[in-house]
Amino acid sequence: MSEIHFREMASKSWLNILTFLCGSAVGFVLCSQLLSILLEEQKDIQPSILHNDPHARHSDDNEQNHLEGQMNFDADASQHKDENTDIAEKLYQKVKILCWVMTGPQNLEKKAKHVKATWAQRCNKVLFMSSEENKDFPAVGLKTREGRDQLYWKTIKAFQYVHDHYLEDADWFMKADDDTYVILDNLRWLLSKYNPEEPIYFGRRFKPYVKQGYMSGGAGYVLSKEALKRFVEAFKTDKCTHSSSIEDLALGRCMEIINVEAGDSRDTTGKETFHPFVPEHHLIKGYLPRTFWYWNYNYYPPVEGPGCCSDLAVSFHYVDPTAMYELEYLVYHLRPYGYLYRYQPALPEKILKEFFV
């Protein structure tokens, strides 16, 4: 009897030990899971790096609506200490550019947001044009529908809106898409040689259909104040009508009718500055097949390879969000220390005079 009892006791204590071990294993696993989750969260808290933005020192700028430079440039403050932006600042004041970005409700967060975080801040004023108003973004509502066939309508209404509200706030009026990357400093250099009271507009010049050529929509184009006035007036007097849904072509036709000159936007060595594609498509020989429409459209002899693109390029198109930031990094941050660039264009006369007054 006592033997059986003993065995019972033994098996019971084995069971007890097993139960205890099971319990401790479960406790261990649960606890480790919990701790690992807690510790991961701690690692995710990034230190925020905020420094003074030297690019936003626009002391003379009294623009109320000026979109403040949200982006703080200095990941590496000491590098930017070496940077002298006097000329860029001077041009900012002398060559006032209002940018309007063609976008839509679906693209505000997907695309326009990244434009806003990068190049848009360098415009003297920037407006995001959509079919419907969005007070938070903010975006202007043009009260049109969306879609590729609405582009010309949106363009006409956008320019009208800009003309009615901001005509005196800028000298030049730039249209871009939400997948266009624009280098404002270089646009100012290009435009500084011209007078905004002249009827002229610039972009990537295409030759078909319009005698003087017309500017590619995607690569962006910029109208002088006089050109804008004439454009808006032309719709009031029916000189131009909403003739087609092909935005850039229709605009180009109108420009010709109202005697606005299609300007030559190439740099002093003849290299193009406005680009209808991303750098890769222009820089790589053979990337764009010979049968591609582009080769027959370009007004000036098209070039592929290193000669395609000016050092002082103004725009690129079909730029996805990642590429927006990549371009921002390559243009405004990464540089070869001490390197003497081959292309050293002169400052425009007008600006030089200002400097030495």
Q: How far is the CB of 338 from other proteins (least distance, A)?
A: 4
Q: Are 135 and 62 in contact (CB under 8 A)?
A: no
Q: Are 272 and 309 in contact (CB under 8 A)?
A: yes
CA–CA distance from 254 to each of 152, 259, 264, 280 (Å)? 11, 9, 18, 33
Q: Which CB, 13 or 106, lies closer to other proteins?
A: 13
How many other C-beta atoms lie within 10 A of the C-beta of residue 312? Answer: 17
Q: How far is the CB of 289 from other proteins (least distance, A)?
A: 15
Instruction: In whole angstroms, give the CA distance from residue 355 to residue 332.
Output: 24
Instruction: In whole angstroms, give the CA distance from residue 119 to residue 182.
Output: 6
Instruction: In whole angstroms, give the CA distance from residue 276 to residue 270.
Output: 17
Q: Which CB, 13 or 244, lies closer to other proteins?
A: 13
Instruction: In whole angstroms, give the CA distance from residue 142 to residue 156.
Output: 10
Q: How far is the CB of 51 from other proteins (least distance, A)?
A: 8
Instruction: In whole angstroms, give the CA distance from residue 93 to residue 111.
Output: 28
> For 288, phi and psi rounded to 5 degrees?
-90, 115
Q: Which CB, 81 or 353, lies closer to other proteins?
A: 81
Q: Which CB, 89 or 146, lies closer to other proteins?
A: 89
Q: Which CB, 41 or 86, lies closer to other proteins?
A: 86
Q: How far is the CB of 178 from other proteins (least distance, A)?
A: 16
Q: How far is the CB of 169 from other proteins (least distance, A)?
A: 22
